[in-house]
Each structure stands twice: as C-alpha cells, then as structure tokens.
Amino acid sequence: MALRIAVQMDPLEHVNIDGDLTFALMLEAQRRGHELFVYPVDSLCLGEGGAEAALDCGRLSARARPVRVQRVKGDHAHFGEESRLDLGTTDALLMRQDPPFDMGYITATHMLEHVHGVGAGKTLVVNDPRSVRDAPEKLLVTHYPDLMPPTLVTWDREALTEFRARYGDVILKPLYGNGGAGIFRIREGDENFASLLEMHFSRSREPLMIQRYEPLVRKGDKRIILVDGKPIGAINRVPATGEARSNMHVGGRAEAVALTRRDEEICERIGSHLRDNGLIFVGIDVIGDWLTEINVTSPTGLQELDKFNNVNSAGLIWDAIECRIG
C-alpha cells in the first residue's frame, strides 16, 4: 500500500547520507513505493476560526516539497515545486528535526497533535508528539531509578556541590541539550566546578543534571535501538582519546557489540511504556550496567548499526509504522 509521507526535518540538502538516519528512513520509504514530502518546522501553520479556509490547505499545513532521494553524494535529493501541503492528507509524518528541546520544539508537538492519530482522516506522527513532549530524554530515564547511576536534577547549587563532594568524579549535563553539547566531566579537585555552575545559570533558567562518572565509558557508551519497544541491535560508541563524550560527531568510534543480559533486562523494563505511548523508534544509552538516557526526539545510530549486523533497520521501523496504519 503506497502511503503519503511528510518529513519534518532540517534541510535535507545538508545531511550526511552515510550517517543520517532520516535519509535512511526516506530511502526505505521510497523503495516501498511511498510518496515523500519534506518541510521545515518553521513553515507550520495551524489555522483556526476561519483561517484554515483562508489558506485553503487544511487545519495544519506546511510549505513542503515533494522529493526523491538516492544514495549519491552531492546529488542525493531531487525536489519538486514547493506548495502548501495539508498535513492532514498524509498517512504518516516523521518528526525528525534536531533538538534542542526548547519552546519551539514543544510548540511544534502541540501543533502536530491536531492531525495525529490512526484511522480515516488522521496522520500517524512518529514519534507520538504528546509522548515526545512528556518524555525529555534525560528526564524519562528518571522513572527507572534502579536502572540509573546516582543522578541529581536540580537548580540548587548547594545540592549540586554536595553531590559532587559525595561522588568526586562527576558529569554535568544541560537537561535539554543534544549531541553531547555542554557536557563536562569534573574530576575530584577540579577548580572549575563553581564557574561552570555560574556560567550555566547566568544563561539558562533550566536545571542541570549531575551524574556519577562511570569509568566503563572508556570501553564504550552503548546505543541500543528499540523499535516498538523491542531491541533490534546495538552499537558501541568509544570516546576518542582525551574526550569524555562518546558522541560520534565529536570523535567517538562506532564498533560492533552484542546485547548483554543486563541490556535485555533494561529493554524489557522500558519496552511496554515505549510501545504503549507511540514511541516507535527509540535509542537508549547504556554505560556498563547503567541506563543513562532514553532518546525519543531524533535518535541516531541506525546506519552504523546496519553496517555491523547486516539488518535493514529502516525496514523494521517502516514495518512497525505500516502495521499501525493498517
């Protein structure tokens, strides 16, 4: 069954086709005969009280372009003419713009709720916009405290200082950042801790997350991919020499890795929540025995996973989407 698919994303022209998950999903959708449209999030229009009739393009619309993709560097996307697309006429919509998870991101989830659903006249938004809004990656994980390393989320500088005194070697994270941006390792005796707190709170009203440093991160930060609550595989992301972060765009190295019994236990614990809340595609981060993040906004790692396990991960995601649409 051919579907009309809208993709809300950052400019397709600029993606790395060898690593970008959205590109892989689009390539697989096209292989299945689905029709693809792309649009930037800032072109969304929610029309109410007669405004939708004035625009003549439905309640929720966006300036979209039809597109065909191919795995050819420098020539990977061919666009049709831009027009305003009634998003309610699409069968599925991939919400794939990168964070930060700020008020702009949150507002877009509210707008997408006006078309989201399954059945006649509805558009399946992946992942469910309400569930994404209710599940910031660094906060959703706190609902599973026994799976986490010691962690504190607070504005309170005294509490942050006490946590650091107890554990010595810690990681500081902005709560709504992404891609490893703004993450610091503070070792025992480091004199920059107070200055980092001052810098953060002078620029932001958001709390900080502080976490015990896990030395096993030197052996890798495991990214496990779950589709409809079930793990389909994992990659190990090993930090570069002299770098505390394992994110691949800051030098982390991807390598093959098998799921351990502890990994399977973690996936089993969180899987039903993900599935029941429309979080079809999720990437979780595990260091040693500890779950550190549940990524639901724009998780990555799928193309790297396929290089090691020879599985069509994008195909598994589309199987789940098509099953929900029926």
* Active site amino acids: 138, 173, 223, 237, 245, 285, 293, 295
Phi and psi dihedrals of 216, rounded to 5?
Answer: -65, -10
For the chain, the C-alpha Rg in angstroms (whole number) is 21
Helix axes 21-31, 313-325, angle to 10 degrees: 60
* 280 to 93, 118, 129, 258: CA distances (angstroms): 12, 14, 11, 22
Note the Cα 207 to chain centre separation in Å. Answer: 20
CB 242, CB 262: distance < 8 Å: no
Q: Which amino acid is at 186?
A: I
Nearest to 66 by CA among 3, 5, 23: 5
Nearest to 324 by CA among 106, 135, 66, 93: 93
Measured CA to CA, the distance from residue 147 to residue 255 in angstroms comes to 24
